[in-house]
Amino acid sequence: MYEFRDRIVEEWGFDLVIAKNEEAINEGMGPEKGKLECCTALKTEALMK
């Protein structure tokens, strides 16, 4: 998946933003908390900060 992402970014000249919600990770957020909750906290919220 990451190879594909990186290839597309390079080919299309995208400005890729990679972020982590360290606060949520430090508070124990993970897949066991629920798929929607985890993805929202670790992906969506990370990109909004």
Indicate the domain borders of the chain: 18-49
pTM above 0.75, yes or no: no
- The pLDDT profile of the chain, 49 residues, written as one tens digit per residue, is 899 999 999 999 999 988 889 999 999 999 999 989 998 998 888 878 6
Please state whether 15 falls in left (phi above 0), alpha (psi between -120 and 50) or beta.
beta
* Contact yes or no for 30/38 (Cβ under 8 A): yes
Tell me how many degrees the CA angle 42-48-49 measures, rounded to the nearest 5. Answer: 90
